[in-house]
């Protein structure tokens, strides 16, 4: 007899022990509490979390994609990775706006929009809990995903609230990053185009599929901060990211 066990999000499997002739035990480990928090690759100071209410209690409805958006030919699995979470709130910006409060709603909308187009989507987390960097890419690699997209919000120190803008990163092939970046510039009014750049962020260099990391704006920037608090702006950003992913799927004929 063969029994297959697949862990849920935020959980990994430990050792298997045979207690006696009739009993086996399998260790189940929560990634929310047992894994130490990663360092923020963009802000090594790791600011102290500030608890603030969610940006809005009445988010706008998820936008739809235009008719004729690319529907995949076969199975296409996209992993959407909302950065940070739980005990790691990411960057904390003006007015206490936390990165996690910006990127989770954007990521959830991206996931919903892709599913509407027939794309299979896996999220590394779908609520505000912690998962390690290793756990994120391990999940995507284990599932043999076709695409991995990590979504973040940026920050800069020194009280430089004049710094705003979006940028997209890649580690290997830049086609996915280019497709998403172009779509954002077409569909969203951004404070500044900071370009597509190569970086060796952990989730980019350890994912075995085309991957991109999107910085949707600076929570420390006065212009971006005001926009990222707006549910309508976050929805525009989600729609643009989803369209960029679909553009890439069309280009690669997946």
What are the start-end ranges of the H helices in 54-167? 99-116, 133-143
In a domain, 125, yes or no: yes
From residue 20, alpha-carbon distances to 2, 23, 25, 27, 199 in Å are 18, 5, 10, 16, 50
Task: For residues 123-137, give the mean pLDDT.
Answer: 97
In a domain, 64, yes or no: yes
Angstrom distance (rounded) from CA 92 to CA 38:
16
pTM above 0.85, yes or no: no
215 labelled catalytic: yes
Is residue 180 within 8 Å of residue 149, measured between CB atoms?
A: yes
Instruction: Say how many C-beta atoms besides its own lie within 10 A of residue 38's C-beta.
Output: 18
In a domain, 8, yes or no: no
The domain that contains 81 carries what CATH number?
3.40.630.40
Work out how many domains the chain is built from and give that number: 1
| Structural domain boundaries, residue 77 | 37-252
In a domain, 130, yes or no: yes
In a domain, 217, yes or no: yes
Q: What is the pLDDT of residues 173-216, one digit of tens each?
A: 999 999 999 999 999 999 999 999 999 999 999 999 999 999 99
From residue 252, alpha-carbon distances to 65, 76, 239, 240, 249 in Å are 20, 11, 20, 18, 5
In a domain, 5, yes or no: no
Q: Exactly one of 99, 109, 167, 215 is catalytic; which is it?
A: 215
In a domain, 4, yes or no: no
Is residue 62 within 8 Å of residue 116, measured between CB atoms?
A: no
In a domain, 22, yes or no: no
Predicted confidence (pLDDT) at residue 68 exceeds the cutoff of 70: no
Task: For residues 98-108, give the mean pLDDT.
Answer: 98
């Amino acid at each position: 007899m063969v029994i297959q066990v697949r862990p849920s999000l935020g959980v990994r499997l430990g050792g298997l022990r045979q207690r006696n002739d009739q009993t086996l035990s399998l260790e189940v480990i929560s990634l929310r509490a047992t894994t130490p928090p990663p360092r923020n690759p963009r802000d090594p100071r790791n600011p102290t979390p500030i608890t603030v209410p969610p940006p809005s209690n009445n988010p706008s409805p998820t936008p739809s994609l235009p008719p004729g958006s690319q529907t995949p030919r076969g199975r296409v699995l996209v992993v959407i990775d909302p950065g940070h979470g739980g005990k790691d709130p990411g960057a904390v910006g003006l007015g206490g706006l936390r990165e996690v409060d910006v990127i989770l709603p954007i990521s959830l909308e991206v996931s919903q929009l892709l599913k509407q187009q027939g794309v299979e989507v896996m999220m590394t987390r779908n609520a505000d809990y912690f998962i390690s960097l290793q756990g994120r890419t391990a999940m995507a690699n284990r599932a043999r995903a076709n695409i991995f997209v990590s979504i973040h919000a940026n920050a800069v120190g020194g009280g430089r609230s004049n710094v705003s803008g979006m940028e997209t990163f890649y580690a290997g092939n830049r086609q996915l990053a280019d497709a998403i970046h172009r779509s954002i510039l077409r569909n969203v009014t951004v404070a500044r185009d900071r370009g597509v750049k190569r970086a060796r962020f952990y989730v980019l260099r350890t994912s075995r599929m085309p991957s991109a990391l999107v910085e949707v704006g600076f929570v420390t920037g006065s212009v971006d901060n005001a926009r990222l608090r707006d549910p309508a702006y976050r929805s525009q950003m989600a729609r643009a990211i989803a369209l960029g992913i679909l553009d890439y799927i069309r280009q690669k004929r997946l």
